[in-house]
């Protein structure tokens, strides 16, 4: 139904042009005040990337400005000699020494600029690596709950989409700003030496362009800031249209037309916003160029007046014209670099702010050591609420797991089983209540150390684009025996034996010689991954979801056999698989409503008995 209105959710078009308060207040003075800070931040990052190259860029740029000023002053000598009375050959000969100085200064200036450019080109890849390492080093360390926070996602999107990518551009623009300032200082110094009145003339030709550049940058950033949610939605739809994971369902449900309509609705709305931005920027540039032309005309009028009243000689006027032209070029470069630095600096600030926020989400150092093992794990009155949620996912939950037991969590979808398991494994921290491994409160333990003692076999396990070996070992080096034992226990050895390169086969068909596995085969690889960990606590979250009945039965038998003194926490909807568990906890809407072994729960005739009887009836 092509006329059916589309539900675009968070990217309603009416909200796309709502600019943030901080952008509404940005003006020329704000940029002028902020520019030194941006230059300082950029140069600091350049220094962190390579102190040698950063120093070379700054020093060579300064020397280039010195030789520019020296060449302009030497030009006065050339013009004075040429404008003197006498035969032309004599005037040319008199100008040669000054001309040699001008040529030498030009050669040295060019050499300095080339050296600065070479050092700057060396900085770029180093800055890219440094900024990416910082970003992804933080995203991989923040607390897992951060990924359930929409504000974190928005900040991460801004940092990834433009922030980290413009770090090298910000440094490049900052260097260009420094270079342009040095050039302006050289021209201004020359004009100040020639005549004090000449110095203010520089400002007349460039202030309008400065205003236009700043205003244009402000327009662009505020518009793109408002389009973040829209572009994220468009990217998601594009992934559905182009990625392999969704390709089969796009075709089987004939979703192509629907997705293209949705994509087109988002793209057209974005296009309209960008077209309006282009028109506004064009009008701003026209106004700036018109006022800049008037300013340039006033410069030459002022020079003519100075010559008419004999305030300066003709040679000085000629040098002043060259100095003003040089200053205008440097000022033009400064405006362009400032515009670029300010615009890119806004995104760079998003990157820096995200990094600062991410650092606040890191787990602080904790004094307690992870126990070498445990006699029991106790969750005492645990309550947990996801960011932005109105209702808690868990309410006053208490459970006990003894060493060597097989414990099961059962309940309907949304009852809190997986959330509780993540809290017990240290992936989440409870809002209230405590998790104890014997007498050790997990709030006092480094989560990374705790996670080396736990293993999770998840239903939504990651299909890593790595070899079969690394999909099981996850980069740990426990040797061939541990690898083969884990694969055998999980039944993954049969899967790997059929692969063309065995354990060295890349499990991703998007790459050359890569192979793809079925859902059940991937499930066995994920189980082997959990067994290979050989952890104190093994959490199996719907480990048989993708397996057939025979494979499911075999896997549960392997889990029971493999447990052999280990502690296993089993989460499943298939209650026939948990009847032999030592203890079963039944969760309903975030609370534990029943617990005990299978026979005890059946005798209670509660939720567990109801669910078990319902499933058993399907097989009669």
Mind giving me the DSSP string for 171-208?
HHHHHHHHHHHHHHHHHHHHHHHH-GGGTTHHHHHHHH
Give, to the nearest 10 degrees, the angle between helix 28-49 and helix 314-360: 70
- For 156-161, the CB contacts below 8 A with 24+ separation are 156/354, 157/228, 157/232, 158/228, 158/347, 158/350, 158/351, 158/354, 159/135, 159/350, 159/351, 159/354, 159/355, 160/135, 161/228, 161/231
The pLDDT value given to residue 549: 66
In contact, 373 and 403? CB cutoff 8 Å: yes
Look at residues 444, 433, 441 and name the one whose alpha carbon lies nearest to residue 380.
433
The pLDDT value given to residue 22: 45
Look at residues 39, 323, 56 and name the one whose alpha carbon lies nearest to residue 177.
39
> Which residues are 399's β-sheet partners?
379
Residues 6+ positions from 543 with CB-CB distance below 8 Å: 457, 459, 523, 526, 527, 530, 555, 559, 570, 572
Domains of the chain are: 9-360 (1.20.1560.10), 370-453+537-620 (3.40.50.300), 461-534 (3.40.50.300)
d(CA 177, CA 174): 5
Give the full edge-to-edge strand order of the sheet including 583-588: 454-457, 537-541, 567-571, 406-410, 583-588, 591-596
The upper half-sphere exposure of residue 83, i.e. CA atoms within 13 Å in the direction of its Cβ, equals 13
In contact, 506 and 514? CB cutoff 8 Å: yes
The pLDDT value given to residue 185: 79
Look at residues 426, 412, 414, 489 and name the one whose alpha carbon lies nearest to residue 456.
426
d(CA 586, CA 409): 6
In contact, 171 and 42? CB cutoff 8 Å: yes
pTM higher than 0.75 for the full model?
no
For the four alpha carbons of 408, 409, 413 and 419, in that order, the dihedral sign comes to negative
Give, to the nearest 10 degrees, the angle between helix 167-194 and helix 201-226: 170
Q: Which two structure tokens, joined as six digits, stand for 485? A: 């034992």
The pLDDT value given to residue 440: 87
Q: Which two structure tokens, joined as six digits, stand for 390? A: 């109105």
Residue 7: exposure state from Cβ atoms within 10 A (0-12, 13-18, ≥19)? exposed
d(CA 172, CA 42): 8
In contact, 125 and 52? CB cutoff 8 Å: no
Distances (CA, A) of 397 to 224, 421, 571: 45, 12, 16
Number of other CB atoms surrounding residue 146 within 10 Å: 19
Helix (H, G, I), strand (E, B) or coil at 102: helix
Number of other CB atoms surrounding residue 136 within 10 Å: 12
Residues 6+ positions from 199 with CB-CB distance below 8 Å: 188, 191, 192
The upper half-sphere exposure of residue 501, i.e. CA atoms within 13 Å in the direction of its Cβ, equals 13
Look at residues 609, 559, 568 and name the one whose alpha carbon lies nearest to residue 586.
609
Residue 392: exposure state from Cβ atoms within 10 A (0-12, 13-18, ≥19)? buried
Q: Per-10-residue mean pLDDT for the chain, 620 residues long?
A: 50 34 50 75 86 88 78 66 61 71 82 87 88 88 85 82 80 82 77 72 69 73 75 81 80 82 85 87 83 74 74 72 73 73 79 88 83 86 90 92 90 89 88 89 86 83 87 84 88 90 87 83 88 86 69 70 77 81 91 92 90 78
Tokens 């450019």 identify what position?
117
Tokens 């990337």 identify what position?
49
In contact, 559 and 476? CB cutoff 8 Å: no
User: Any idea what DSSP says for residue 160?
Assistant: I
Q: Which two structure tokens, joined as six digits, stand for 439? A: 């007498």
d(CA 61, CA 64): 5
User: Any idea what DSSP says for residue 585?
Assistant: E
Distances (CA, A) of 432 to 182, 422, 426, 524: 59, 15, 14, 36
Alpha helix stretches (DSSP H) within 361-446:
417-424
């Amino acid at each position: 139904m092509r006329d059916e209105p589309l539900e675009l959710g968070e990217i309603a078009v009416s909200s796309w042009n709502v600019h943030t308060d901080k952008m509404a207040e940005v003006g020329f003075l704000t940029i002028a005040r902020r520019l030194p800070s941006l230059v300082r931040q950029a140069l600091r990052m350049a220094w962190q990337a390579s102190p040698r190259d950063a120093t070379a860029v700054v020093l060579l740029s300064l020397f280039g400005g010195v030789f520019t000023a020296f060449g302009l002053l030497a030009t006065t000598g050339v013009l004075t000699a040429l404008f003197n009375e006498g035969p032309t050959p004599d005037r040319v000969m008199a100008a040669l020494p000054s001309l040699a100085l001008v040529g030498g200064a030009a050669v040295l200036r060019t050499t300095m600029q080339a050296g600065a450019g070479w050092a700057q080109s060396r900085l770029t890849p180093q800055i890219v690596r440094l900024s990416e390492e910082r970003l992804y080093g933080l995203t991989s360390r923040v607390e897992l709950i951060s990924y359930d926070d929409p504000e974190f996602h928005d900040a991460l999107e801004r940092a990834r989409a433009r922030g980290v990518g413009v770090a090298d551009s910000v440094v490049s623009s900052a260097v260009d700003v420094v270079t342009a300032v040095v050039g302006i200082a050289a021209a201004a110094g020359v004009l100040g030496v020639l005549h004090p009145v000449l110095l203010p003339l520089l400002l007349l030709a460039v202030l309008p362009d400065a205003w236009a550049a700043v205003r244009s940058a402000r327009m662009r950033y505020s518009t793109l800031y408002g389009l973040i949610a829209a572009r994220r939605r468009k990217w998601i739809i594009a992934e559905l249209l182009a990625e392999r994971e969704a390709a089969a369902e796009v075709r089987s449900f004939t979703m192509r037309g629907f997705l293209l309509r949705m994509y087109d609705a988002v793209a057209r709305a974005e296009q309209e916003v960008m077209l309006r931005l282009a028109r506004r920027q064009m009008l701003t540039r026209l106004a700036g160029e018109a006022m800049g032309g008037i300013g340039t005309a006033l410069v030459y009028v002022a020079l003519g007046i100075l010559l008419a009243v004999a305030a300066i000689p003709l040679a000085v006027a000629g040098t002043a014209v060259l100095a003003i032209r040089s200053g205008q070029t440097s000022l033009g470069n400064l405006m362009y670099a400032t515009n670029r630095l300010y615009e890119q600096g806004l995104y760079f600030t998003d990157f820096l702010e995200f990094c600062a926020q991410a650092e606040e989400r890191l787990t602080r150092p904790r004094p307690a050591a992870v126990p070498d093992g445990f006699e029991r794990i106790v969750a005492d009155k645990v309550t947990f609420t996801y960011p932005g949620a109105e209702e808690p996912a868990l309410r006053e939950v208490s459970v006990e797991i003894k060493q060597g037991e097989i414990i099961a969590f059962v309940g309907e979808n949304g009852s809190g089983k997986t959330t509780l398991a993540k809290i017990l494994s240290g992936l989440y921290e409870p809002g209230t209540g405590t998790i104890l491994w014997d007498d050790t409160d997990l709030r006092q333990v480094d989560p990374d150390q705790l996670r080396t003692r736990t293993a999770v076999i998840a239903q939504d396990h990651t299909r890593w684009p790595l070899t079969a070996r690394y999909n099981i070992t996850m980069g740990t080096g426990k040797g061939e025996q541990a690898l083969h034992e884990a694969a055998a226990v999980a039944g993954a050895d049969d899967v790997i034996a059929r692969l063309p390169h065995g354990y060295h086969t890349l499990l991703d068909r998007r790459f050359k010689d890569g192979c793809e596995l079925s859902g059940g085969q991937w499930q066995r690889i994920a189980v082997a991954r959990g067994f290979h960990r050989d952890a104190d606590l093994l959490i199996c979250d719907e480990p048989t979801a993708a397996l057939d009945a025979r494979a499911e039965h075999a896997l549960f038998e392997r889990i029971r056999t493999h447990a052999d003194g280990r502690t296993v926490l089993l989460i499943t909807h298939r209650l026939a698989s948990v009847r032999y568990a030592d203890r079963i906890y039944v969760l309903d809407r975030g609370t534990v409503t029943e617990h005990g072994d299978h026979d005890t729960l059946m005798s209670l005739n509660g939720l567990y008995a109801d669910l078990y009887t319902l499933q058993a009836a399907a097989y009669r």
